[in-house]
Structure formats: C-alpha cells, structure tokens
Amino acid sequence: MYLGADYYPEHWEKERWPIDADLMQRAGISLVRLSEFAWSKLEPEDDLYDFAWLDEAMDILNEKGVKVVLSTPTAAPPSWLIGKHLQILPLLKNGQRMGFGKRRHYCITNRTYYHFSERIIRKLAEHYKNNAQVIGWQVDNEFGNPKCYCDNCKKEFQHWLKLKYKTLENLNQSWGNAFWSHDYICWEQIPLPIVDYHNPSFDLDFKRFFSDMNVKYSNMQIELLKSISPDKFVTHNFMGLFPELNYYDLAEKYDFVSWDNYPQGLEKRFQVALAHDVMRGLKKKNFWVMEQQCGCITREDITPALSPGEMRLWTYHSYAHGAEAVVYFRWRACTFGIEQFHSGILQHDGTDKSIAYKETAQIASEIDRIRAQLEGSKVISPVAIIYDYENIWVNYSYQEKPMYNYSDEILRFYKAIRKKGINVDIVKPTDDFSKYKVVVAPLMYIVDDETANNIKKYVKEGGTFIAGFRFGIKDRHSNIVKSILPGKLRELFGMSIYAWDNLRERKIEVQTSSGEVYQADTFADLITPEKAKPLAEYKNSWHASYAAVTVNTFAKGKSYYVGCGLPQGFYDKFIAEILKGLVPEGIKVPDEVEITLRQKNGKKFIFVMNFSDKSSRIFLNKEYTELKEKKKLQGEINLDPFEVLILL
C-alpha cells in the first residue's frame, strides 16, 4: 500500500532535489512518478538523449528509500519533433490543424509519431531495465482526446470498416444507408463524421474506431516495455467516468489500472465512488490512484481549497474502494505554466508548513500501522451494475441535445445501493453474473443475443435483474429493433411496451402499490403487463392506463423493470426492499456517512467515512476494534468532520 507523489525534478533547480527527497522521507512518501511530460529534457534534439539529470534525481531519491514509476513521455511531443513533422499535429473537426503549445497534440494513427514514440520508449526502457528502484511504468498520460480528422485517419477508418464489414453491401445494410441516399459504392467515399446529425450507426462505428486506435497505440507501448523489462509492471492513468474510450479494451493488457482522481467537492462523493468501482471493474482487481487531489486545482478557474482533513478523507475513500496505492498530484505547486495555481503537497514556497504536508505525514503514519493487515484485501460485492461503453456511445449519439445522461442514470441506482452500505461491482454485459444476488442495467439500449442469453441464464438460476427504461431498444449497429419492446427479453420481463414518451415538459405522476406518489422525469416507457405484476403505475394524463414499474417471476429468479426516471427517494425505497437481506449488520449511520468493506482471510475491514464538515453520530451495536488507533468502540460514537474509522 504505497503513498506517493507525482514529482517533476525538471521543474526545479538541482540544489532543491536533496531537500525534496528529505521532505518526502519525513512525510512518509515512498514512491514518485517521474518523466510524464519530460520528452524535451530526455531528448532535447532529434536522436540526442540526456538521461543524466534523471539518473541524478533518482539517485538522490533512492538514498531516501523512494521507489519510482517512470512514464513514457509520449503525451507531450517536443517542439523540434513537431517542427520537423507537422503532420503529427491532429486536424480538428473544423479543418484547422491543432497548434503546438498544449499537450496530447498528436494524431493517434500517425505512423511517423509511432516511430518516434517507439524510439524514445526503447531508449528509456533499455536504460532503466536493470534499475531496481524503478518498479513499473506508466504509459503516456490520460488517453482520449483530441480526435483527428486528417486524410490518414480517414484511410485508417475506411480500412477498419473494410475489415469489419467485408463488403459495402454489408456496411450499407448495417448502417441503413438507404436513408437520405447515403449508400456508398466504394470504400474511398466514406468520410469522417464532421457534420452534425450524422447517421447514428456511422457515429457508433467511428467511436469504436477511435477507441480501437487508442488501444492499438497503447498496446504498442505495453508490448515494447514488456519485451525489454518484463519484471516491471505497466499501467496507465485512466480518467474515471471518461466516456470516449472503451476502457475494458484499453485495460486488457495492463497489469493493473490506475486513474486520476479529482473529486472537487464533497457533493461529488457518489460520482467518485462510482469511478473507483468502474476502475476496479475493468480488470476485476484492485487499482492505483496515480493522481489524487491534495488541494485546489486549476485551468480556466481555481477550485476551492480542501478543508483540513478532507485530503485524508478522500485518500481513505480510495483505499476503501480497492486502491493499493495513492499518489498525490503533485509534490510541489509549480511556479510557471498553465497549472500555476494547482496545489501540491508543498505550496510554491516549498516549505513543510502546508496543510497537505502535515496531512500526508499523518496518513503515512497511519498506513504504516495498518498496512500488514490491509494489504491483499479485496472489495467483495453482492450487487453488480452493468456499465458498457457502447451503450454510452449510443446514448450520446445526439450530442447537440442528449436526451439522457448515462452516468446520472447509473447513479440513481448506485446511490441507493451505496447508501445502504452495500458494495457494488461494475461489470460488462457478457460477464459471469452468477456470484451476484442482484444485477442492475440502467439505460441499456443495446442487447444482442449473447447478452440476452447471459441475462436469461442468470435469472433462470435464481438471480434478480433490474432494468432501467429504454432497455433493449437497439441492435449492435445502433438501429431500433423491429420487435415488440423490450425486445429479446420480453418474456423475461413478462410485459410489452407499445408506447413511450419524453417527459422533459410533462408533469406525470407515478403511484406505487404502497401508495407513495412521485413525479416521473426524463423518459417514460409505458408498460403493458402480461405476466408481470405492476409495482407502480402512471397516475394522470393518457399515461394512466400503463404501468411504470413491474416485477416478473421467471424460473427461479425475478426481473424488475423501472420504466421511467423518478426522484432519488423512490430508488432508495425500491432498492432497500430488494436488498434488505444484504445490508451490513451492526452499524447504523446517517446519510452523510459512507460504509465500505474490504475483506481478507475471512476478516472484514469496515471503512466508516464522514463526508461532512460537521460532526456525525453513528451507532455500533457490537464491539469493534478501530484499526488505526487500536481502540475498542461500541454504542453511540461521535465522528468528527471528515473523520475515518477502519473497524475490524
């Protein structure tokens, strides 16, 4: 369980490096990430390399016992490279070429960039392959945008489509190109999607292509690093709920996932928790936080500073959800560049007087006391939520005015589950669901045969499946299905949907079978029950003859369908009833306090975290040992603002 910092020795005079190393040792920092954006220092001219400064900085850190994760510097190609090969810069959607002066200013398909990337990676890996201080590699930085619309990308897209569809007849039929006379008679006619309101099938395939190109470039780096230094791990700093790439595909060849966590406020607690669980779900294993917020952050604006204790709270929140290392961004606030007001553990003055430095030392001391017991523990969850990138992309086809927000629909269910202290796993539609008591699938447009059979098998064998509105309305090409909704799983849900409505400008009420009345929102699937039992019905307007929420018994299991958006209070009660046998016993907490469990060798480590700047009261109905302080606790307990307990 490492505690670390992102360090940029190239930003500081050499005389400062021993001071930083000493301060790190005193604060309990045992790991740094280096060289992330240092290409111009590592290769100041074409094929002229300088690793001496990095060697010197690492030697100084090594004297203080600090391990290193090295980064491939490919997220920031230097000016000499762009000057010689301007075509490396991406061509933006508006036809303008991206200028030098930011970062990630490269075309993801450019073969020249592949060549120079491979060259610097090989030089770095060869130089440090036998260095025991280097425990692993980070590839690039935050894969994603910008998208490029150059001629080479167009040719690569056309080639990608040809491999996928084999014939133009297949492509034209799959995309529905009879609409608006979009049929193609040769592959070279296929453009890039630079116009608004493009064919949704085209849009989906371009998103798949862009994701695949990022995965291809990422895998090139992984394979090269592994071929040279197979004893060192390789990871990448993902971006939580970032929707533009298929993170399952991107994560496949990494040893583990890391991600960059910037909560920016206590109200983001559930979004951050969901992001942690998504990251853990990509490889079904614990993860690292490679950039953890430790103060205010900035680009165009400056966010509020973290209150004393808040950095510690977010750190333990990361560990609670499965982090094995937390690395703060950054060690010291920079005095130049676009991130001048981005806080570090040290502020610009470089002294040990900052709030974050004192908190880091406290956290490190606590981690030292609990490391042996917590290392190797895992998050075990009885509930899973399906999180699928192709469904995200299909939902966002109409970017000018998206009808739904995918993560918001996930969060309605996720919040209700987490409020009960129940752990959640994030899964793909084709994963094995058999170990879960309940599986939830919000906004799952695409349901192909493999997914439908997987869900049906799960419910048949006794599982409980919950679907949100608009379930199964599209095929894998983003075309609406021709069957009665909910399509392939109509029998599973025991009902039909013949009508639906956008509720943006309507006030439609829903009444549950127990009498509560809620206002529906977002969208309404108007359900005609067949074998299913209505749990809630629309109450007014022409919607009143339809069910809003149903349950159906199917073989040994049950399937629920929530046909519209509803206030959070509905989800809280609905989920509490379904999951009542799964709620952790022995602890009662208010809404501002989160409970999360990690397990190891039959022991449960219960993280209790107060996400409030005020004191909270919890109740323990049996005796627990608080792991950090080694003290016994029972009965009514007062939690200070931002306080964290780890109970055993």
Give catalytic residues, as residue numbers: 142, 291
**CA-to-CA dists, residue 198 to 181, 209, 288, 424, 579, angstroms:** 13, 16, 38, 36, 42
Q: Say which residues have a Cβ less than 8 Å from residue 598's Cβ, sequence separation at least 6.
A: 319, 320, 322, 374, 377, 378, 379, 604, 605, 607
**CA-to-CA dists, residue 349 to 333, 490, 508, angstroms:** 9, 64, 58
Identity of the residue numbered 302: I
Structure tokens at 489: 């799983």
Identity of the residue numbered 260: D
Structure tokens at 551: 């349950």
Closest Cα partner for 646 from 632, 621, 628, 623? 628
Closest Cα partner for 54 from 64, 39, 75? 39
Number of Cβ atoms within 10 Å of the Cβ of 317:
25
DSSP letters along 553-615, please? EETTEEEEEE-EE--HHHHHHHHHHHTTTTSPSSEE--TTEEEEEEEETTEEEEEEEE-SSS-
**CA 342 to CA 366: how far, in whole Å?**
26
**CA-to-CA dists, residue 562 to 327, 428, 493, 569, 573, angstroms:** 40, 20, 11, 14, 13
How would you classify the pairing of strands 438-441 and 464-467?
Answer: parallel
**CA 596 to CA 548: how far, in whole Å?**
32
Query: Which three-class secondary structure state does DSSP give residue 249?
Result: helix
Task: Classify residue 147 by its DSSP letter.
Answer: P
**CA-to-CA dists, residue 359 to 95, 198, 352, 457, 612, angstroms:** 48, 51, 11, 50, 18
Query: Which three-class secondary structure state does DSSP give residue 315?
Result: helix
Structure tokens at 228: 């040279």
Find where tokens 């291809």 sit.
216
Integer Rg of the chain from CA:
26
Rounded to the nearest 5°, which phi and psi values hold at 299? -145, -90
**CA 380 to CA 368: how far, in whole Å?**
24
Task: Spell out the SS3 assignment of 470-484.
Answer: CCCCECCCCCECCCC
Sign of CA dihedral 278, 468, 441, 438: positive
Distance, first Cα to last Cα, the chain: 18
DSSP letters along 448-468, please? -HHHHHHHHHHHHTT-EEEE-
DSSP letters along 56-70, please? HHHHHHHHTT-EEEE
How would you classify the pairing of strands 438-441 and 383-386?
Answer: parallel
